[in-house]
Amino acid sequence: MLRLLIRKCLEKEMADSVNPFDAYELVELLPTHFEETSEQQLILYAQMANLLRITYNYGELGNVDIKEITHNFCRFACNAHTITDAELRPLGIGLYPVISIINHSCQPNCILLFEGKKAYVRAIQEISEGMEVTLSYVDLGDNTLTRLQNLKLQYFFNCVCPRCLPKATSDKMLDNDHMEGFLCPIPKCKGLLITNQEYSEKMLCKTCGKETDKSKVLDKLKSFDCYLDDGLRHLSIGNLGRAKQAFEKLDQVQTSLLQKSSLHRIKTYDNLLKICMAMEDWVSALVYCHKAIKVYERVYLPNHPLLGLQHYTCGKLEWFLGKADDATKSYRQALSILEITHGSHSELVQSLKVALQEAEMEALYIRRLVE
């Protein structure tokens, strides 16, 4: 916010050299949703604004309007973007006013990527003339109801994109059920549980037809949080062995309740993959990488960069373990996605192409030895 205020001050002094696509006046045009913001949040913004006023005035940069800063904090909350590296690891936040005017869709035709502080909007499918350019504001790995709730809470609108609008309440529930992947509690059945359309507090097994209280299923899922918390606690202090045990236990108990492709298992597999790689347990890391890919394929769109990056990681592990043929297949799958999302000239894709070429040459050499 202080940078933004300084920018405003400098633009007044150098009006002729201001980039029209990077001007402070564009920030003022962004919506604040001030009226929809909670009183508690507005009080926090006002307190931060007062702190900035003191800092700003101390630097003798001029008077500051607390109301203006409070409104800008509101703008930040619903317009700022998370800046990431090429592998989508968060580095910070930035305000890109021109990109902020791009509307949301849960079935977007573009993604937002960064090279340093520079932002790029890249198409991930064909965009016909006159078709609106869209980005996703939320994690597309969440189910429909969760996405709708998050969009309403942070961005103050009801999503009417193609993925959400055509669906009646019953269809949204079914979409949630398939992504969450709850299993029938009958040991010999293990069919998929779906929400009873006539009584949403109940779930029915698609295989045996047995009815189960939805609250019991959700309570059991919540009871697993202790393993997640334990694993994250040990991971935060570098106790990899104990962290691995906790997440392995979580994976074990989730198997009794959730399908392998359930979205609830993403965190489990991702953390186990991270831990195993840190422990240099490459064989186990590859196992969890394959498991994670199954979930990613289920919950994300075909050209989502996270899916491409997961295939890339899988290829690296297979290559390290001497599985050149498997590595070649994984690298090719990664390339088919990341060339679209990151561009063929990006450093990430160039490195991937080199790795693919090495894997192809190694696989060919091994086949000739066998022959």
- Contact residues for 176 (Cβ-Cβ < 8 A; gap 6+): 143, 144, 145, 146, 195
DSSP 3-state assignment of 258? strand
- 201 close to 186: Cβ distance less than 8 angstroms: no
DSSP 3-state assignment of 159? coil
| Residue 106 host element (H or E) | none
Query: What is the pLDDT at residue 6?
Result: 81
pLDDT in tens, the chain (371 residues): 888 888 888 887 776 566 777 788 888 899 999 999 999 999 999 999 888 877 766 555 566 788 888 999 999 999 999 999 999 999 999 999 999 999 999 999 999 999 988 999 999 999 999 999 999 999 988 888 889 999 999 999 999 887 887 554 555 556 677 788 899 888 888 888 887 766 678 888 888 888 888 888 888 888 888 999 999 999 999 999 999 999 999 999 999 889 888 888 999 999 999 999 999 999 999 999 999 999 999 888 889 999 999 999 999 999 999 999 999 999 999 999 999 999 999 999 999 999 999 999 999 988 888 77
**Nearest C-alpha neighbor of 72 from the set 138, 28, 122, 6:** 28
Half-sphere exposure of 91 (CA within 13 A, CB side): 13
Written as one string, the DSSP assignment of 35-72 is TTS-HHHHHHHHHHHHHHHHHHHHTT-----HHHHHHH
- Contact residues for 15 (Cβ-Cβ < 8 A; gap 6+): none
| Residue 92 host element (H or E) | strand 90-94
User: How far apart (Å, rounded) are the C-alpha atoms in residues 362 and 357?
Assistant: 9
User: How far apart (Å, rounded) are the C-alpha atoms in residues 257 and 253?
Assistant: 7
Query: What is the pLDDT at residue 189?
Result: 83
Asked whether the whole model's pTM tops 0.75, one would answer yes
Q: Any bridge partners for residue 134, and if so which?
A: 103
Q: Any bridge partners for residue 202, and if so which?
A: 213
Query: What is the pLDDT at residue 217?
Result: 86
Query: What is the pLDDT at residue 282?
Result: 97
